[in-house]
Amino acid sequence: MNRGRSIFNVSVLLSMVFLWSSVGSAGVIEEVTSYFKPASGALIAIHGDDYLINMDASSGVMVGDLLSIVTPGEKLVDPASGAILGSLDTVKGVLKVTKVRSGFSHARPLGAILAAQKGDSVRRYQNLTAIFRDQQGTGLRLYGQLVSDLPGLEWQGAHTVRKTIDTPSESPDERAQLTFLLNDKTLIVSDSEGQVLRSFPVVDHLPAVSDVPVYPPTQPISSSKLITDPGSQSAVAWDPLLQNNHAQVAYAADYPGFLTLGEFPGIVMMADFASAGGQLFVAGSDGSDLNVFGIKERMEPVASEKNQNQGKIHAVAWWLPEVAGPLYLAVTASSIKGSSSSITAETIFTSSVYRFSDGHLTPLANNLPYMLGTFDRDGDGNKEALLGQRFDLETIYGPVRELKLENGSLDDTEPTFELPLNFPVQGSLFADLTGDGKAETIYTRKGILYVISNGRLQYESTRQMGGSLSRLTYDVNPGQADALFTSIAFEVPQVAADIDGDGQLELIAVSTDSSAFSAPGLVPGGGESWLSVIKYQKGRFVKGTLGEKLENPIQGLTVNKRNALVVLSRQDSILGRQGQSHLLALPLAP
């Protein structure tokens, strides 16, 4: 879904189109319109991922409500009558209410929020995308009344679906913020996370109508194809449910299977690749030890090092601040501050940077209070930028600093480039995917991949993006008797490469069966994984797959001219670091 978009509200026209009788659904329509009654307010404060709004129960707000953050735009006036037809509003993002207090409420972001600020207008159940899904094929009149009576929603159409599909997360239309699912007895409304907001019993169900047109059938996207609509010029994710004609672009069909290049000494929780002096290296960690291997026809051990700080390693990333200089390895690690037999202690980050030369890892800096990530900002294929991000117990992703090498030591400064709000330095990438000479910002959070360009969200994937064995479980309330634990994942960064030889970069990213990570740390192995390919084509982003599905999670990824290389890990124990990891190569077609 493309937030930061312009919306043309034409409630008058919609009311004219859908003025027909629907006696059988009158009761449910009254209940629906009453429940989704719009209300407006404003943002009063933003603290990380906690948004405060000046609306409470007296405004009709309740926990679970969806609110759009909107900047009012130009009003559209009929030159003949002078009537206001609508307005060009800009939606900055969507919030979900988490707590209602007297006089104000708390809310959290539901996806990306772009440039929101204190005083912005907030609207309850307005300017949200909505889709109607009908399991009976008889709900067109009900859909027409919903569109007429809820004109503040951006309706995406009505579709017949199979009865086996019960939640938005199981089909591509999950990008809609509201899904209205009609079965034989109930109208069920859920949000984009699959959470049911309300169910409305349909007592007098609509009879079948012979002249009602058949909706386009739901067709799942093939895992081996990129689907694109050749007629669109909009740079947003395309939903095949909303289109009738499309072309197919195949990637997976031309590639053979993965080849095994070697086995690591144990399980690898995170790995990263880099080239230096004509040699390709891979660094990996099992959470405690660091190991570096050289890769030619096979992988060979080069260096090994124990974590210099107490705690657990979560991520590794190669850093090349100067093209002619040595490689450095940025290691993200955490530890527990203090201890107690009855009360949990605070989680802090104690990361490190190592200099890699002559087959040795030499510590450069220890106990850095950051999560670390490295990035290629100039597009030469080398990660010359090192970013450090503060860890916030409540919002997770705190302020970002840029770390630079000055006279043999690290110096942190303000970033020399703009970053979107809530940008995570883990699982992120800068790359020019559209070919306009400007790098897009790409990152994965909570199973969704985002592409942002010029401050606007250009692409938002469905779920199943990312998925990692490297996770941190921590107490949000350290030192308190009522411990509240949550988990975050350290995702494998995406890779940008021209894999089809057309001169334009494609985005290659890890995808995983999200159900395997619904209970973090409780599922040995971690479920199936695969490589997704996202390409900017004819004015929009399309998505496909590269190679076949793998039985275990991918914990490292790179692409060179000949191969896509992945580190595949299987966790045998949910309590320790036992497991196996292999380096696999997927040959690319010439």
Confidence of residue 476 (pLDDT cuts 50, 70, 90): confident
Residue-level pLDDT at 86: 67
> Range(s) for CATH 3.40.50 in the chain?
23-35+126-217
pLDDT digits (tens, 9 = 90+) for 260-271: 888 888 899 999
DSSP assignment, residue 538? T
Sign of CA dihedral 247, 252, 253, 254: positive
pLDDT digits (tens, 9 = 90+) for 132-175: 998 877 788 888 889 989 989 989 888 887 654 334 444 434 56
CB atoms within 10 A of CB 133: 27
Rounded average pLDDT over 48-58? 91
What CATH class is the domain 249-587? mainly beta
Percentage of the chain with pLDDT > 90? Answer: 37
Q: Which H or E element spans position 149?
A: helix 140-149
Give bridge partners of residue 507 from the DSSP assignment.
496, 534
Residues in Cβ contact with 164 at an 8 Å cutoff, skipping those fewer than 6 apart: none
Residues in Cβ contact with 215 at an 8 Å cutoff, skipping those fewer than 6 apart: 134, 137, 158, 159, 160
Question: Hey, what are 47's tokens?
Answer: 């603290």
CATH number for the domain running over 23-35+126-217:
3.40.50
Rounded alpha-carbon distances, angstroms, from residue 533 to 234, 449, 543: 19, 12, 6
CB of 509 closer than 8 Å to CB of 531? yes
Q: Is the pLDDT of residue 213 over 90?
A: no
DSSP assignments along 409-471, one per residue: EEEEE--SS---TT--SSSEEEE--SSSSSPEEEEEETTEEEEEETTEEEEE--S-B---S-E
Confidence of residue 198 (pLDDT cuts 50, 70, 90): confident
pLDDT digits (tens, 9 = 90+) for 324-382: 899 999 999 998 886 544 456 788 999 999 999 988 999 999 999 999 999 999 888 89
> Range(s) for CATH 2.40.10.410 in the chain?
39-124
Residue-level pLDDT at 106: 93
- Burial grade of 502 (CB within 10 A; 0-12, 13-18, 19 or more): exposed
CATH superfamily of 39-124: FlgT, C-terminal domain (2.40.10.410)
Question: Hey, what are 435's tokens?
Answer: 């070919």
Q: What is the mean pLDDT of the chain?
A: 78
Q: Distance between CA 159 and CA 182 in Å, rounded?
A: 10
> Range(s) for CATH 2.120.10 in the chain?
249-587
Residue-level pLDDT at 309: 67
Q: Who has greater pLDDT, 505 or 171?
A: 505
Query: What residue type is assigned to position 306 of the chain?
Result: K
Confidence of residue 299 (pLDDT cuts 50, 70, 90): confident
Q: Is the pLDDT of residue 570 over 90?
A: no
The pTM of this model reads: 0.58
